[in-house]
Structure 1
């Protein structure tokens, strides 16, 4: 017996539409991209101000002859206006270097002032951190602290009041009567060290 049942008619259009609806995805509308914000230019970097290194070299004959004379007297125990011989180790050689100096007593302390600016003894002192002051056979070992520019005007004033006749030529007309503002202006060009006696 033939038991085949009739096949129901196929709705081709509906099948096609169903196939299409399941295979296609409707894309959501895309919002327009926001315009890129302009990049602010990076401001140029301003380098920190620097203080030029000031140095006045000794004049060949006169200054060297004077230094030798003061050093000779100091080695033999004669102090000229409070002079001493400063000994400090060379930053490269490690050997002791000497030069005559005028330690300044002020308010119960002593200071070494470099009227010529950043001399070799100043460079050596910054590395060594101390040295010796000698007069005759007397030796005094010490350490130092370099004085900041803001504290120099009072020291420079006292130094010029005592030794202007000797070092005034290195101060370009500035003397102990100058206002504080003028001494503060020139202070960066004159290294100053506070002398601290070494104990023990």
Structure 2
């Protein structure tokens, strides 16, 4: 099965979201994760929607080969921004086994994100079982304060 690719409108929507955040206006649970590019070293910001499981903060790549996830994996650290508040985080990618309970919690912890995964074709119903099955396919990162 081929991996889904992001829709044409995702980059423009992400740019608008980042511009709103830069004005100091938080937009729901969305934050901007900035990491150095894996080849250029330039700061690469992208909107992410972190959620808490057992007191720890996680984010999941909506597309298995998303550039931001490849950059986050290579960088291992970045800056998480919400509105005008920023803090450094270490970025730890979870193994498929460790990712299972986090992915299973996603539809409950982040219900507004389920539609995104449905539209991408990664899940059909949005059940916990479907999300858990994404382990090893969609990168899951733990964001630890530095």
Contact 1:76/1:135, CA 8 A, preserved across alignment:
no
Residues 34 and 80, structure 2, Cα contact 8 Å, conserved in 1:
yes
Q: How does 1:37-186 map to 2 (within 5 A)?
A: 56-60=4-8, 62-161=9-108, 162=110, 163-170=113-120, 171-175=122-126, 177-179=127-129, 182-186=130-134
Provide the secondary structure at the position in 1 that maps to 2:141. strand
Distance 1:172 1:108 in 2: 26
Over 4 Å off, 4+ runs: none
Unaligned runs of 5+ in 2: none
Distance in 2 (alpha carbons) for counterparts of 1:186 and 1:103: 17
Deviations 1:136-191 (A, max 9, x none): 3211101122111112232123223322133332323151x343xx5443311110
CA-based RMSD: 2.1
* Other structure's SS at 1:189 match: coil
Is the Cα–Cα contact under 8 Å of residues 104 and 111 in structure 1 kept in the other structure?
yes
Secondary structure, in 3 states, of the residue corresponding to 1:133?
strand
Structure with the larger strand share: 2
Gaps of 5+ in 1: 1-51
Aligned length: 142
Q: TM-score, normalised by structure 1?
A: 0.63
Q: Distance in 2 between matches of 1:78 and 1:154?
A: 32
Distance (Å, rounded) in 1 between the aligned partners of 2:83 and 2:60: 22
